[in-house]
Amino acid sequence: MKVEVVSFTGDSGLADYSVSLARALARLVKAQVVSAQSLPVRFDEMGFAVERVFRRSRHYPLDIFRFFFGVLRRRPDWVLIQGPLKFPVIDALVVRVLKLFGIGCAVTVHDVLPHYPRPWSRAEFGFYYRSFSRVIAHSTAAASGLRKLGVATEVLVVPHGIYDIFDLTGINREAARKAIGGIEPDDTVVLFFGHLEPRKGLMEFLDAAKTMLLSDPNVKFLVAGGGSLDSHGTAYAQRLEEARAMPNVIVHDRRIPFEAVENYFAASDIIALPYREGTTSGVLKLALAFGKPVVASRVGDFPEQIPAGAGVLFEADKALARHLEVAIREIAGNFSGYSAAMQAAGGDAQWPDIANRVVNYLKVH
């Protein structure tokens, strides 16, 4: 069987997922990653073929044809697309034509709907998902959301695999903290990692830092990730600037290079996921890979995917910041137990198991 794992972006979480899955699939089938020209060359020696097709968004009208005719030339048994490439309706039409040429088309749903949906998003994405012969989701909650969009195909539910590809050197806690700077040996570090967005509870994370500054001075709040908060409103950007001056907050508001990701997780004690909205998060799989307990809101697949005893869940309501404080204190006060549970977890999120389930699902006719 020939399977092409497709990601429009080459340097993002979807690309990380694509190469992780392809690495596992390559042990079972002839696997290839089809991605952007920006896909780092580090992935070229991981046991699968690589095809770099896509460029920046403005080239999509040309690149979608390059992708289409490339698939027809290579004739894979399946293309497994990681969410919409760019424009769901156009992507759906391409998928439907590929199926007419005998190409199997499957999709992995990372977010059922956009984080900031438009009035027509449900109709648009429903049409897109219904174009595929196979649909894969990361949680039963996501599968339920797909059924509400009219997806009649039996949905395969498999967890998002752990991101062990980021554990490059096995760096220890002390060395990682030295690389980041500003962290004392006895500090408890709570990490907010990834693209900086209000929907992820960043403002509540900063509120908790402000409240805990006097009561828990040894708790450091580490913010690491890119993204312009100005696009969400100047008030959000101003809040981040104010937090930057706080002694218990460290802000690295820039894109974190692949090679540096391990520093942030190795240096941290607790990973914060106080999301207000979302379907899944690769940050949770980084926490699993590095054995770090989490504090998370009950949104998306967090209730299903956070291992028992490895974290604290709370409601994403108006008291989110307060819930976050309580959760941080709970884990800090009983750290050894939560840490041990997380380090022993991740058994159902191993890539070889996921790849086996995906291949068996694709084989069913």
Domain definitions of the chain by residue range: 2-161+350-363, 164-347
Give the tens place of pLDDT for each residue, 177-203: 999 999 999 999 999 999 999 999 999
Q: Tell me which architecture the domain covering 2-161+350-363 has in CATH.
A: 3-Layer(aba) Sandwich (3.40)
Q: How far apart are CA 37 and CA 238, in angstroms?
A: 35
| DSSP string over 286-349 | HHHHHT--EEEES-TTHHHHSPTTSEEEE--STTHHHHHHHHHHHHHHTHHHHHHHHHT--GGG
End-to-end CA distance of the chain: 14
Domains 2-161+350-363 and 164-347 share a fold: yes
147, two tokens: 């059924």
User: How much is the pTM?
Assistant: 0.86
Side-chain-facing half-sphere of 320: CA atoms under 13 Å:
23
Q: Given its phi and psi angles, is residue 335 left (phi above 0), alpha (psi -120 to 50 degrees) or beta?
A: alpha
Distance of CA 289 to the CA centre of its chain: 13
Token pair 């009561």 is found at 215
Give the tens place of pLDDT for each residue, 262-281: 999 999 999 999 999 887 78
DSSP state of 239: H
Q: What does the pLDDT read at residue 365?
A: 58
Q: What does the pLDDT read at residue 229?
A: 83
Token pair 């979608």 is found at 64
Distance of CA 19 to the CA centre of its chain: 13
**Contacts of 95-98 spanning 24+ positions with Cβ under 8 A:** 95/131, 95/132, 96/131, 97/68, 98/68, 98/71, 98/72
Q: Per-residue confidence of the chain (365 residues) as pLDDT tens digits?
A: 999 999 999 988 899 999 999 999 999 999 999 999 999 999 999 999 999 999 999 999 999 999 999 999 999 999 999 999 999 999 999 999 999 999 999 999 999 999 888 999 999 999 999 999 999 999 898 999 999 999 999 999 998 888 989 999 999 999 999 999 999 999 999 999 999 999 999 999 999 999 999 999 999 999 999 888 878 888 999 999 999 999 999 999 999 999 999 999 999 999 999 999 887 788 999 999 999 999 999 998 899 888 889 999 999 999 999 999 999 999 999 999 999 999 887 677 899 999 999 999 999 75
CB atoms within 10 A of CB 100: 7
Q: How far apart are CA 345 and CA 304, in angstroms?
A: 13
* Superfamily of domain 164-347 in the CATH hierarchy: Glycogen Phosphorylase B; (3.40.50.2000)
Q: How far apart are CA 269 and CA 278, in angstroms?
A: 23
CB atoms within 10 A of CB 26: 18
